[in-house]
DNA sequence: CTGCCGTTATAAAGCCATCC
DNA sequence: GGATGGCTTTATAACGGCAG
């Protein structure tokens, strides 16, 4: 009667999932899941089916973990802290699903629910475009050595990945480089290459011209298929669009404000402004003075 | 295949203390 | 007073085993 130590976590701690009563006579407290079937004696059809499938997959060794690796969520939370977003702000942005203590504990947990992972990812996508409000949180994160969001690429969920070094010029994401044709060709050959947006568009367009399926290219580069289709059509990603907006504002009023002030005016992170300024300088475009 | 049992691991939540 | 951490408790998913 002893449980076999699982090499990958598949147990523990999930809140009760109630998929709703289907059988009017069922008196269970919650319904629809394998556990509802076993523990709450739910005999609704979907609970029976969940139980049957669970048993069958268990026999065949095909049960999949109900939790996902917490690495990506942990890095996102630490990145948001590094920007100065307190745990409470992050929790609030998640829609009140959990409180700030859960935010903190996700950083020490090995696994979290897919739902929580998605919530953190969605919140991260919003907050990394805004400067944090808490200097104290930012200072603590810096002391703890938490990487900034810009130090992570698309591989933030990869447990084997490590953050890029933070260069003092504040230019880390490489979106400002001209097209690296060698990198594009390597990507077209099927190699996973960290491309800039412009290179990505060039690669998608060249690949399509050569008859390479868009889905394959998107998959190989680890990008969303629909995003790839949008970029193929020449439409910019939100990040690229934001960069262009910041550059335009820098050319217009960049001499009047420092990076932090302009960032606040444009509602973007101050590093976005710093990087945009660096891009303009490299291209030889002078900010009005 | 269905039904039940007991066990284990651990996420989630609650409470309080500490730090700055 | 805001932000965070430590400890404890609760809830429950997942597991093996057995019987019909």
Q: Is the Cβ atom of A106 within 7 Å of strand B at any atom?
A: yes
Strand C interface, A 231-260, C-beta < 7 A: none
Query: Is the minimum distance from the CB of A109 to strand B below 7 Å?
Result: yes
pLDDT on residue A137? 75
% chain A with pLDDT above 90? 0
pLDDT of residue A169: 34
Q: Is the CB of A41 under 7 A from strand C?
A: no
| Nearest nt (C1') from A136 Cα | C3
Buried b (16+ CB within 10 A) or exposed e, A144-156: eebbbbbbbeebb
pLDDT of A76 higher than 80: yes
Interatomic separation, CA of residue A16 and C1' of nucleotide C10, rounded (Å): 12
Quick check: A186 CB within 7 A of strand B? Answer: no
A15 touches strand C (CB under 7 A): yes
- The mean per-residue pLDDT over the stretch A109-113 comes to 66
CA of A68 to C1' of B10 (A): 14
pLDDT tens for residues A49-69? Answer: 666 666 666 555 555 555 566
Q: Which two three-digit tokens encode residue A135?
A: 């200097």
Q: Is the CB of A2 under 7 A from strand B?
A: yes
Q: Any residues with CB less than 8 A from the CB of A66 and at least 6 apart, and which?
A: A10, A14, A113
* pLDDT at site A146: 77
- Count other Cβ atoms within 10 Å, centred on residue A48: 16
Listed as ranges, the nucleotides of chain B within 7 A of a protein C-beta are: 1-15, 20
Comparing A123 with A111, the larger pLDDT belongs to A123
* Tokens read off for A42: 């739910």
Which nucleotide in the DNA or RNA is closest to residue A13, CA to C1'? B11
Q: Is the CB of A171 under 7 A from strand C?
A: no
Nucleotides of C under 7 A from a protein CB: 2-6, 11-17
Q: What nucleotide is nearest A18 when CA is compared to C1'?
A: C12
Please give the full DSSP string across A157-220, using - where no structure is assigned. Answer: T-TT--PPP--TTS--S-TTSPP-HHHHHHHHTT------HHHHHHHHHHHHHTT--HHHHHHH
A137 touches strand C (CB under 7 A): yes
Model pTM above 0.75: no
A39 and A31 Cβ atoms separated by less than 8 Å: no
Residue A32 CA distance to nucleotide B1 C1' (Å) = 19
Residues A258-262 have a mean pLDDT of 69
């Amino acid at each position: 009667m002893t449980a076999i130590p699982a090499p990958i976590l598949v147990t523990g701690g999930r809140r009760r999932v109630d998929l709703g009563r289907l059988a009017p006579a069922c008196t269970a407290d919650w319904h629809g899941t394998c556990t509802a079937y076993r523990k709450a004696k739910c005999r609704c059809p979907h609970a029976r089916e969940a139980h049957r499938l669970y048993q069958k997959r268990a026999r065949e060794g095909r049960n999949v973990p109900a939790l996902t690796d917490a690495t990506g969520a942990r890095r996102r939370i630490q990145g948001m802290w590094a920007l100065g977003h307190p745990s409470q702000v992050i929790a609030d942005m998640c829609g009140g699903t959990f409180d700030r203590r859960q935010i903190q504990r996700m950083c020490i947990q090995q696994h979290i629910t897919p739902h929580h992972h998605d919530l953190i990812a969605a919140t991260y996508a919003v907050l990394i475009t805004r400067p944090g409000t808490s200097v104290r949180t930012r200072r603590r994160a810096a002391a703890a050595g938490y990487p900034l969001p810009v130090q992570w690429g698309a591989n933030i969920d990869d447990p084997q990945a490590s953050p890029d070094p933070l260069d003092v010029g504040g230019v880390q994401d490489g979106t400002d480089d001209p097209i690296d044709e060698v990198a594009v060709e390597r990507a077209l050959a099927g190699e996973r290459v960290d491309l800039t947006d412009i290179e990505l568009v060039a690669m998608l367009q060249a690949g399509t011209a050569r008859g390479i399926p868009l889905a394959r290219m998107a998959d190989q580069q680890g990008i969303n298929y629909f995003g790839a289709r949008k970029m193929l059509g020449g439409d910019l990603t939100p990040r690229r669009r934001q960069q262009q907006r910041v550059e335009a504002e820098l050319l217009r009023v960049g001499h009047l404000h420092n990076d932090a002030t302009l960032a606040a005016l444009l509602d973007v992170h101050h590093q976005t402004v710093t990087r945009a300024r660096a891009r303009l300088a490299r291209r030889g475009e002078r900010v009005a003075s």
